[in-house]
């Protein structure tokens, strides 16, 4: 008979990704007794171990390789790079390990008990955890925070049971650079990994079911990237469905469908990157009285509380956007409400960043959303071809876009395409959250020459005070 250990705690957090460990740490800092349950051996979740951090390490190298190649246009020539994928993997793993240890140490300093195992609800006040030695631990709690994250979605009706048909997690651990790689899905994960492996020497084909890449972003922000990727990637198939995948002569034969047209090609590796699904499967939520919606997400209110008053849910399992920075803020909100504070999650905007080359970032409304909601707006786009700083770095294809209310009194959204767009979007976020108007940006003195100037330049276009461009009235 399996021995069951019984533990009581004020708060149990299920999942140690950005949402989970932030919630656990904040709850502990507020004086609450906390147990953190994690199914993996290491803390940090997908973002740290298999997502955000390792992929950005790869993309950093991709940018370095790109910049070295581009330098020949300015009179500086480098030899073609030699790629040691094993050394790259070791370097990436060392970054992850250091961050793992950092989170573990922060948990230790707070005296948070960590239990490694798979959790499932027994009731609204009790969970069972099967630990790594298959021993069962029962945890009785006053409050629970569910932060189990998400996993890569799988292709429907297609057998992908093959070692060379991989997901984004596996793509970050390849020991050999593929000669030909198919990326199924033209979203941010697929394009980021495709960009990285193209720079390492792979011939990349992208197949996207929808008519555009990065369909969540405005097309005019995506176009500069699309033009560059068309030259770098072997193929980009839009409005294209993958209908069959099979092993043939040690390669993966793929059948595509575009309209009524069928065609085939073969690849060494096929990366399936068609989105992510919430991890709720093994939680036995019904035993706690919690139901998921038709998309598989757990509904929560602005306090991140579920329909069961003592159970909260945060991060990817609560819905789009599935972003680490959204999750960490949700974690703080949940912990603060449990401690008795009145905290709500009600951001005016959540930034999105695509770490390709060029980067794409936006915050607030997109132009597409404004049109769909029939909201009247003004628009200004400052081309980086008019930026002195962009010229000196060879990034003149970029642009900075600002959307305002009809009377320019409110900033509705900001989008940026170009080098370091992910860093530049921080000013946009602050402006939106602070309720700044367009003059607050245009009258703020930005350093010259910098890319941040382009935010002021776009603002000046709307206030009709710009001198760096001539705009005919």
Q: What pLDDT score does 3 carry?
A: 53
pTM here is 0.93
Instruction: Specify whether the CB–CB gap between 268 and 178 falls below 8 A.
Output: yes
pLDDT (average), residues 353-363: 96
| Domains along the sequence of the chain with CATH | 4-152+277-338 (3.50.50.60), 165-274 (3.50.50.60), 352-463 (3.30.390.30)
Q: What pLDDT score does 347 carry?
A: 95
Indicate whether 473 pLDDT > 80: no
For residues 398 and 77, what is the distance between their CA atoms, to the nearest angstrom?
24
What's the chain's average pLDDT? Answer: 94
pLDDT (average), residues 337-345: 97
Q: What pLDDT score does 159 carry?
A: 80
Indicate whether 300 pLDDT > 70: yes
Three-state DSSP class for residue 366: coil
Q: How confident is the model at residue 161 (pLDDT cuts 50, 70, 90)?
A: confident
Which secondary-structure segment (H or E) carries 109?
A: helix 85-109
Q: Please state whether the peptide bond connecting residue 430 to the residue before it is cis, i.e. omega within 30 degrees of 0.
A: no
pLDDT (average), residues 385-390: 96
Whole-angstrom CA distances from 411 to 407, 431, 433, 460 are: 10, 8, 10, 13
For residues 371 and 322, what is the distance between their CA atoms, to the nearest angstrom?
24
Candidates 60, 162, 291, 448; catalytic one: 448
Q: Which of 343, 288, 278 is nearest to 317 (CA)?
A: 278
- pLDDT tens-digit readout, 307-336: 999 999 999 999 999 999 999 999 999 999
Q: What pLDDT score does 1 carry?
A: 36
First to last CA, the chain: 84
Give the DSSP letter of residue 285.
G
Indicate whether 434 pLDDT > 50: yes
pLDDT (average), residues 144-151: 96
Whole-angstrom CA distances from 31 to 25, 28, 342, 380 are: 10, 5, 16, 49
Three-state DSSP class for residue 468: coil
Indicate whether 271 pLDDT > 70: yes
Active site residue 162: no
Indicate whether 147 pLDDT > 90: yes
Q: Which of 260, 303, 300, 296 is nearest to 276 (CA)?
A: 296
């Amino acid at each position: 008979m399996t021995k069951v250990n019984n533990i009581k705690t004020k708060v149990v957090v299920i999942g140690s990704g950005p949402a989970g460990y932030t919630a656990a740490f904040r709850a502990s800092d507020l004086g609450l007794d906390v147990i953190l349950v994690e199914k993996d051996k290491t803390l940090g979740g997908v973002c740290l171990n298999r997502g955000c951090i390792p992929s950005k390490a790869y993309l950093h190298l991709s940018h370095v390789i790109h910049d070295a190649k581009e330098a020949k246009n300015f009179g500086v020539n480098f030899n073609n790079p030699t790629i040691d994928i094993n050394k790259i993997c070791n370097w990436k793993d060392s970054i992850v390990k250091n961050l793992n240890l950092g989170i573990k140490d922060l948990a230790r300093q707070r005296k948070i008990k960590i239990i490694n195992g798979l959790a499932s609800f027994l009731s609204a006040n009790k969970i069972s955890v099967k630990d790594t030695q298959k021993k069962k631990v029962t945890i009785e709690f006053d409050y629970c925070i569910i932060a189990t994250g998400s996993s890569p979605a799988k292709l429907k009706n297609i057998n992908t049971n093959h070692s060379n048909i991989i997901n984004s997690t596996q793509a970050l651990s390849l020991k050999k650079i593929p000669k030909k790689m198919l990326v199924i899905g033209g979203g941010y994960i697929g394009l980021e990994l495709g960009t990285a492996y193209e720079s390492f020497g792979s011939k990349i084909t992208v197949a996207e079911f929808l008519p555009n890449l990065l369909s969540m972003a405005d097309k005019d922000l995506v176009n500069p990237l699309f033009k560059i990727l068309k030259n770098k990637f072997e193929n980009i198939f839009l409005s294209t469905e993958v209908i069959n995948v099979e092993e043939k002569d040690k390669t993966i034969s793929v059948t595509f469908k575009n309209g009524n047209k069928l065609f085939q090609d073969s690849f060494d590796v096929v990366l399936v990157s068609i989105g992510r699904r919430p991890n709720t499967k093994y939680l036995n939520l019904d035993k706690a009285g919690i139901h998921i919606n038709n998309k598989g997400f757990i509904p929560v209110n602005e306090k991140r509380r579920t329909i069961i008053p003592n159970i909260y849910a945060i991060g990817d399992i609560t819905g789009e956007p599935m972003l680490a920075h959204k999750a960490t803020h949700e974690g703080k909100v949940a912990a603060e409400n449990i401690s008795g504070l009145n905290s709500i999650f009600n951001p005016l905007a959540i930034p999105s960043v695509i770490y390709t080359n060029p980067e794409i970032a936006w915050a607030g409304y997109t132009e597409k959303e404004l049109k769909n909601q029939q909201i009247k707006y003004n628009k200004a786009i400052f081309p980086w071809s008019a930026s002195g700083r962009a010229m000196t770095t060879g990034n003149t294809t970029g642009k900075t876009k600002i959307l305002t209310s009809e009377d320019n009194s409110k900033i509705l959204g900001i989008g940026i395409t170009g080098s370091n767009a992910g860093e530049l979007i921080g000013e946009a976020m602050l402006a939106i959250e602070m309720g700044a108007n367009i003059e607050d940006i245009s009258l703020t003195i930005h350093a010259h020459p910098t890319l941040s100037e382009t935010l002021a330049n776009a603002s000046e276009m709307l206030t009709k005070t710009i001198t760096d461009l001539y705009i005919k009235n």
